[in-house]
A = this chain, B = another copy of it.
Amino acid sequence: MNKRNAITVEEAQKRLGQIEINVNTEMIKSVDSLGRICARDIYSIMNQPPFPRSPLDGYAVRSVDVQGASRENPVKLNVIERVCAGMCPQKEVGPKEAVRIMTGAPIPEGADGIIMQEQTDEGDQVVEIYQPVKAYGNYCFQGEDVEKGVLLFEKGTQIRHMHVGIMASQGIEDVQVYSVPRIGVMATGDELMPVGCALMPGKIYDSNGPLLSARVMELGMEAVRMDSFGDDTERLADAVMESLGQCDALITSGGVSVGVRDCMPLVAEHLGAEVLFHGIDAKPGSPIMVMLIGNKPVFCLSGNPFAAAATFEVLVRPVLEVMRGRLGWRPGRIQGILETAFPKPSSTRRFIRGRMDNGKVWLPEGRHSSGMLVSLSQCNCLVDIPAGNGGMKAGEAVDVILL
């Protein structure tokens, strides 16, 4: 990385936004679609409810027959039928007639109102009605929830429980969704050992692989853990190519800076990859490099754990969200008020970890270095600290990206 080649975060996002992404779709059962992204606008295919129905337990009547009814002067009606939910009324309600009806049952022809059973004597053959009802009172119309042909939700909607329920209510069995992208995650560096081995001198456990994979899964994508790789250009280049054969995109960590063993730039050269950029004018993670190999993006993040985690949110996630069908997705930037000062002056733009709750933002005390991971435990956001400030005071408004 050459610092003079560093570009702004916005320019990096712009270049990433220009990557041509092929999204695939597939048809799946709507009951299995939770968390997936709709690939089509979803329209209602029937009136719901499919028939006028009773919203309560009582008697279906002609409103004209019960005008003026009261406990003192009840109106008597002949009960000609009983209809429960799931049944079909066989008769039409004529003058001075009523049908015993239960919640959810179809309202019979002729009736234009329902009397709640508490306002009757609940008679079987003959019923005494103690209250009038206006025309279409307690009457749930056909198509009242939704008529046939109405947009239920749009292409790009992330399917939640209510959408599963809405599709079921319409009898929509299958739904076209975007395919889940497979994202490879490969930590590089001779110092890394996988969890489960006894730690050797000079080594550390790989945390970037597990963290980035977990984040990919948290966002609803498939993470494919590639073995951690040492700092050897040719073997690494082979591993990158092999990984790309199995994945739609690859995220690596480590080896992007200026050290003699930082070989990701050499890998790019070796493979003749198109480097979109190498270096951003922001901390942490400024050495980030992004390349395209056969139209597949390879995100080469810093090996520092917080740097990898932060640049993932700011630069990698937007591309992955588009890959999984959230076209035009942008990180939800919201405003918060700092409860904790960040006194360190910053000539560079800086993303720091914080915890946001009800519009207020707390920062962990100290422990902001990009090599520090543990203080991220209580955090749920990144705070965007603008370049060229002399330190941020409590009470100042800041832009926040939720994790």
The answer to whether A190 touches B87 (Cβ under 8 A) is yes
The answer to whether B376 touches A358 (Cβ under 8 A) is no
The answer to whether B260 touches A86 (Cβ under 8 A) is no
Smallest CB gap from A335: residue in B: B358
| Given A261-B84, A371-B55: A207 and B165 interface contact (C-beta under 8 Å) | yes
Bound: A34/B213 CA distance, A: 10
The answer to whether A34 touches B305 (Cβ under 8 A) is no
The answer to whether B379 touches A169 (Cβ under 8 A) is no
Smallest CB gap from A376: residue in B: B162
The answer to whether B201 touches A164 (Cβ under 8 A) is no
Verify if A189 is at the interface (C-beta below 8 Å from B).
yes
Verify if A123 is at the interface (C-beta below 8 Å from B).
no
What count of chain A residues pass the 8 Å CB interface test? 94
Considering only residues 89-137 of chain A, those with a C-beta below 8 Å from chain B are 102-106, 117-118
Measured CB to CB, the closest approach of chain B to A200, in angstroms, equals 9
Verify if A160 is at the interface (C-beta below 8 Å from B).
yes
Verify if A49 is at the interface (C-beta below 8 Å from B).
yes
Binary per-residue interface labels of chain A (163-191) against chain B in the complex, 1 for a CB within 8 Å, 0 otherwise: 11111111111000000000000000111
When distances are taken between beta carbons in the complex, the residues of chain B under 8 Å from A172 are 195
When distances are taken between beta carbons in the complex, the residues of chain B under 8 Å from A31 are 195, 210, 213-214
The answer to whether A218 touches B376 (Cβ under 8 A) is no
Copies in the complex: 2
The answer to whether A161 touches B211 (Cβ under 8 A) is yes
| Given A168-B205, A214-B31, A371-B144: A189 and B50 interface contact (C-beta under 8 Å) | no
With contacts A103-B303, A172-B195 known, what are 10 further pairs, Cβ within 8 A? Answer: A35-B218, A57-B258, A57-B260, A57-B262, A84-B261, A86-B231, A104-B189, A161-B218, A169-B204, A171-B196
CB pairs A–B below 8 angstroms (24 shown): A31-B195, A48-B373, A51-B201, A51-B202, A57-B262, A84-B261, A85-B190, A85-B231, A86-B231, A102-B259, A104-B191, A104-B204, A105-B191, A152-B374, A161-B212, A161-B309, A162-B373, A162-B376, A162-B377, A165-B207, A165-B214, A168-B206, A168-B209, A173-B196
In order of increasing CB-CB distance, the 5 nearest A-B pairs are A165-B211, A86-B190, A86-B191, A169-B207, A85-B191
